[in-house]
């Protein structure tokens, strides 16, 4: 059996600490040294993997202990079998997860570190403190004895004197410092309401990533970081994924881009063909496809163009007359009657479901979802249990159609966002991650 690919998890005590800066910089810096770097993302994030792919030249996959079984995670890690190094970017704080475990855990980065045997590279924002930062590092090193801490990268260091004081505290605590990053606000990536502006929307992304690689290489000990990488999961075959059809028409443009890479890879591995089209370019689904899938994205930013895309709406309606159509989150909203933008303007949508949504009064909807299907959904029969994640700011003002599923959050509380179904058309606010065991 082949040995496990050595890896690291770039984590932090909290969001906004600098994980993405360090992770992307390391990925690109090691790639610049000629290494094959396999990227991963802990948890349900649709945006960061696009940046990982740009930095490494390899597809990044989400690893999620709440939504995925340990064998499924092992199968996705198996994609790193031909890589020299795996780098996973954490989510939120290292130990942050939900209260009740799902398939293999609560979704925390710490659980992924223990499962894979990848040591943690902890990114610490040391602004406003000095030796006290060592107490934070020491707590993270000791909270779980089965977790390996490779060391820390100090972020937002104010000066040489500041760095020396922080390093002194780390030395007293026995914590290895593997990098110290001065403040560089010019290297921060632009954001919008769901996170970073998508990689494909940034025309200067290559230059930005090159600058991050140069920055990280100048201020981190790359040799020591690579030497700290290890792992315990040997390569495993990916678990099968049931595709929604044999030939899948997939909406793909700036308004429809939130689809998990492991699902697309799984569909293709099962023999399905994925054919993309652009609603923003007023294109309809491939007439030879047997299913149409509208993923999430940012329809609220393009509502006017979607409302004016008459050919797209007509072709989608013709398709739905004889074949199945499914929408996730933003795609679900587009399948509805109308979408009210943040300025109060209502835009006509496809009208294949009765759903009406509004961004005029923003309300965050965020969290894991466990759904038990009440009706069929492409690729899944009634009664199937699915695990997914929801993240949007829309409110539902009308949902007259039959419920697609009984939906609960990670604590088992039943939720009103059931999804809906009408004829051959279905939709959900949650993004599918994996079928539940």
Q: Which pair of structure tokens corresponds to residue 409? A: 């959050």
Q: Of the residues 174, 199, 228, which one is the last residue of a structural domain? A: 228
Taking the alpha carbons at both ends of the chain, their separation in whole angstroms is: 27
Q: Which residues pair with 330 in a beta bridge?
A: none
CB atoms near residue 324 (< 10 Å):
20
E-strand stretches of 120-272: 120-125, 149-157, 177-182, 191-192, 195-196, 247-251
- Residue 198 confidence (pLDDT): 58
User: For tokens 């004081």, what's the residue?
Assistant: 165
Give the separation between CA 295 and CA 327, rounded to whole angstroms: 6
Task: Say whether both 254 and 189 belong to one domain.
Answer: no
pLDDT, tens only, 113-151:
999 999 999 999 999 999 999 999 999 999 999 999 999
Instruction: Give 230's DSSP letter.
Output: B
Q: Of the residues 201, 228, 255, which one is the last residue of a structural domain? A: 228
Task: Say whether both 259 and 311 belong to one domain.
Answer: yes
Task: Say whether both 299 and 172 belong to one domain.
Answer: no
Structural domain span for residue 47: 7-228
- Residue 192 confidence (pLDDT): 41
- Annotation says 329 is catalytic: yes
Residue 200 lies in a domain: yes
Residue 238 lies in a domain: no
For residue 251, what is the domain's CATH number? 3.40.50.880
One of 141, 316, 329, 432 is an active-site residue; which one?
Answer: 329
Of 7, 437, 88, 2, nearest in space to 239 by CA = 437
Residue 170 lies in a domain: yes
Task: Say whether both 100 and 164 belong to one domain.
Answer: yes
Give the separation between CA 353 and CA 420, rounded to whole angstroms: 8
pLDDT, tens only, 197-212:
555 665 678 899 999 9
Residue 17 lies in a domain: yes
Give the separation between CA 174 and CA 165, rounded to whole angstroms: 14
Task: Say whether both 178 and 274 belong to one domain.
Answer: no
Domain count, the chain: 2
Q: What is the torsion angle, in degrees rounded to the nearest 10, for the CA atoms of residue 25, residue 201, residue 195 and residue 429? A: -130
Task: Say whether both 331 and 192 belong to one domain.
Answer: no
Task: Say whether both 214 and 312 belong to one domain.
Answer: no
DSSP secondary structure letters along 70-110: HHHHHHHHGGGTT-SEEEEE--SSTT---SS--SSSSS-HH
Give the separation between CA 277 and CA 284, rounded to whole angstroms: 7
Task: Say whether both 297 and 421 belong to one domain.
Answer: yes
Task: Say whether both 376 and 335 belong to one domain.
Answer: yes
Residue 233 lies in a domain: no
Task: Say whether both 177 and 290 belong to one domain.
Answer: no
Residue 240 lies in a domain: no
Task: Say whether both 191 and 218 belong to one domain.
Answer: yes
Task: Say whether both 186 and 315 belong to one domain.
Answer: no
Distances (CA, A) of 311 to 142, 210, 250, 376: 59, 41, 16, 28
- Residue 235 confidence (pLDDT): 83
Distances (CA, A) of 86 to 90, 118, 122, 181, 228: 13, 9, 16, 22, 12
Give the separation between CA 128 and CA 149, rounded to whole angstroms: 23
Give the separation between CA 76 and CA 262, rounded to whole angstroms: 8
- Cβ–Cβ under 8 Å, residues 44 and 62: yes
pLDDT band at 341 (very low <50, low <70, confident <90, very high): very high
For residue 19, what is the domain's CATH number? 3.40.50.300
Residue 142 lies in a domain: yes
- Residue 193 confidence (pLDDT): 46
Which of residues 198 and 376 earns the better pLDDT score? 376
Residue 237 lies in a domain: no
């Amino acid at each position: 059996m082949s040995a496990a690919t050595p890896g690291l998890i770039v984590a932090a005590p909290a969001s906004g600490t600098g994980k993405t800066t360090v992770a992307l910089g390391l990925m690109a810096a090691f790639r610049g040294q000629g290494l094959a770097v396999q990227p991963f993302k802990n948890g349900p994030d649709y945006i960061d993997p696009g940046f990982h792919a740009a930095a490494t030249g390899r597809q990044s996959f989400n690893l999620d202990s709440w939504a995925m079984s340990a064998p499924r995670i092992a199968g996705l890690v198996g994609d790193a079998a031909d890589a020299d190094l795996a780098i996973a970017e954490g989510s939120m704080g290292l130990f942050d997860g939900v209260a009740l475990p799902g398939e293999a855990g609560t979704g925390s980065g710490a659980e992924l570190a223990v499962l894979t045997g990848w040591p943690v590279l902890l990114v610490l924002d040391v602004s406003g403190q000095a030796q006290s930062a060592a107490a934070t590092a020491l707590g993270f090193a000791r909270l779980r004895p089965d977790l390996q801490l490779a060391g820390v990268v100090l972020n937002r260091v104010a000066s040489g004197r500041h760095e020396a004081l922080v390093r002194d505290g780390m030395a007293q605590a026995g914590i290895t410092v593997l990098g110290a990053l001065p403040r560089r606000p010019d290297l921060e990536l632009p954001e919008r309401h769901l996170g970073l502006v998508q990689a494909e929307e940034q025309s200067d992304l290559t230059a930005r990533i090159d600058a991050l690689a140069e920055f990280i290489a100048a201020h981190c000990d790359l040799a020591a970081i690579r030497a700290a990488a290890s792992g315990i999961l040997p390569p495993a075959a990916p678990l099968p994924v049931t595709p929604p059809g044999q030939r899948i028409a997939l909406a793909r443009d700036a308004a429809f881009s939130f689809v998990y890479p492991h699902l697309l890879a799984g569909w293709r591995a099962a023999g399905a063909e994925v054919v993309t089209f652009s609603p923003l370019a007023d294109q309809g689904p491939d007439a030879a496809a047997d299913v149409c899938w509208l993923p999430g994205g940012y329809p609220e930013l393009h509502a006017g163009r979607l409302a004016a895309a008459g050919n797209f709406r007509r072709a989608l309606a013709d398709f739905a007359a004889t074949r199945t159509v499914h929408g996730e989150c933003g795609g679900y909203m587009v399948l509805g009657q109308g979408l009210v933008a943040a300025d109060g303007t209502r835009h006509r949508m496809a009208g294949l479901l009765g759903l009406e949504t509004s961004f005029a009064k923003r309300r965050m909807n965020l969290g894991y979802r466990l759904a038990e299907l009440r009706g069929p959904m492409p690729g899944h029969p009634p009664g199937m249990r699915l695990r997914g994640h929801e993240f949007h700011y829309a409110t539902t003002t009308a949902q007259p159609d039959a419920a697609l599923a009984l939906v609960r959050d990670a604590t088992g509380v039943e939720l009103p966002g059931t999804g809906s179904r009408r004829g051959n058309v279905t939709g959900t606010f949650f993004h599918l991650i994996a079928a539940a065991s």
